[in-house]
Structure 1
């Protein structure tokens, strides 16, 4: 049972050299991802003089996030596992692949990376706002929660299938591509409704910099719930491991 493998770890993990390197890697990967993802939206708004959202804008956001996440996961994979998402880290924790304390260190690094990326964008663009995630007209908070659960389920399920599963074989080499593609596809599906976050850190940075917290809880509850469901489903159905066969914490 995956829940039986959950471990707390120790506070010492935060000061161990490999833990520090992993946290730095998560910080840098998140900064790369958010800077490109948020930046693409800001660039589109500038090119259209702040016009209304359009299908072209949604496609550009999807492509930018897919490409940036592919790179962000790739550059962090050999150091931290390339989580680049507190929901992915939570899914790894539920599956017993990372301890609670190490996961919290990842969370702090990921959230800081997102905030710093948004601050850099704000400065580099001469004060343009990094808009917080928001619900579209006619979309309720619970509609958005369902969207986030389903989209993040797809993301974390992909992570498990391509990066965590010990039987992944050669498919593990395309994990960053698959992860980037599912995020891009989900943005095409959900971006017009709630922004398609799938990542609490991606929502957190813009919320901090713009100090806008409307419905912010949606972008935590949905992704964390979707990640937990995906981890449990994949672990219970497709990974048959004893507590002694646990994967290293650096491999998601």
Structure 2
């Protein structure tokens, strides 16, 4: 079983952690700005719902691919508390730094949505809610599956040292998974896969309907994918993460 590194408060003062938090904030901000902005643009333009869904899915796919690439070498380009949790479960980031990332991602999302509301003259910020006729259990399961596929892809394409000829293409392919999942799950659960992506719009709009679903589902899906892939599919020839503190 993989050991989870707790980390220490000293990490917050380390220059690499500070750099990582700055880059993670910037990349998450730009991701949410483009993602939520595309949904707002689709609502403003109206038109065919299928075209709108494709438009939003492709916008998310493109910005996720680019922002993961932009942040990968410094912060890892997580953009997502579920990704951070999945990597924490696999021993790739400490618990303490994961908490800092979560705070960072939520602040970035809130800032992006607040700025969008101002720039668009107060247009409604679309929030993730369950479709009519979909109950909580269906929504949670949908988000678990969609986020599991996202994290499974992150591990296979970006983390696994045996990614082979796919090395370097990971961020692009992960972005395509996000786009495909939005096309598949968007009309039902909203296909959040990301608590931060759901948090900013809910905070700015004051609409917390079904919001807990977009924490429970993605975190379960992300943690489960990290646990399974790290324990069953990755073969390592080195010790993953230095641990100076207590682990469990």
Give the TM-score normalised by structure 2: 0.94
Instruction: Give 1:247 deviation, angstroms.
Output: 5.2
CA RMSD after TM alignment: 1.6
Is 1:246 paired with 2:243?
Answer: no
Q: Which residue of 2 aligns with 1:35?
A: 33
Instruction: Give 1:169 deviation, angstroms.
Output: 3.4
Give deviations 1:188-243, integer Å, cap 9, x for gaps: 0000001100000000000110111111110001001001111111112211348x
Q: Which residue of 2 aligns with 1:117?
A: 112
Determine the C-alpha separation between the residues in 2 that align with 1:24 and 1:248: 23
Instruction: Give 1:122 deviation, angstroms.
Output: 0.3
Determine the C-alpha separation between the residues in 1 that align with 2:242 and 2:70: 18
Q: Which residue of 2 aligns with 1:10?
A: 8
Determine the C-alpha separation between the residues in 2 that align with 1:12 and 1:207: 33
Instruction: Give 1:170 deviation, angstroms.
Output: 4.0
Q: Unpaired segments of 5 or more residues in structure 2?
A: 244-248
Q: In the alignment, which of 207, 215, 219 is matched to residue 212 of structure 1?
A: 207
Determine the C-alpha separation between the residues in 2 that align with 1:153 and 1:172: 21
Q: Is residue 14–residue 20 contact of structure 1 (8 Å, CA) maintained in 2?
A: yes
Is 1:96 paired with 2:91?
Answer: yes
Mark the CA change 1:162 to 1:182 in structure 2 (over 3 Å): closer, same or farther. Answer: same
Q: Which residue of 1 aligns with 2:133?
A: 138
Q: Which residue of 2 aligns with 1:158?
A: 153
Q: Unpaired segments of 5 or more residues in structure 1?
A: none
Q: In the alignment, which of 40, 44, 47 is matched to residue 46 of structure 1?
A: 44
Q: Is residue 7–residue 100 contact of structure 1 (8 Å, CA) maintained in 2?
A: yes
Q: Which residue of 1 aligns with 2:164?
A: 169
Give deviations 1:35-88, integer Å, cap 9, x for gaps: 11111111111112xx7x711111011000000101110110011011111000
Determine the C-alpha separation between the residues in 2 that align with 1:75 and 1:117: 18
Determine the C-alpha separation between the residues in 2 that align with 1:189 and 1:47: 22
Q: Is residue 97–residue 248 contact of structure 1 (8 Å, CA) maintained in 2?
A: no
Give the TM-score normalised by structure 1: 0.93
SS of corresponding position for 1:245:
coil
Q: Where does structure 1 differ by over 4 angstroms across 4 or more consecutive aligned residues?
A: none
Q: Which residue of 2 aligns with 1:79?
A: 74
Q: Which residue of 1 aligns with 2:246?
A: none
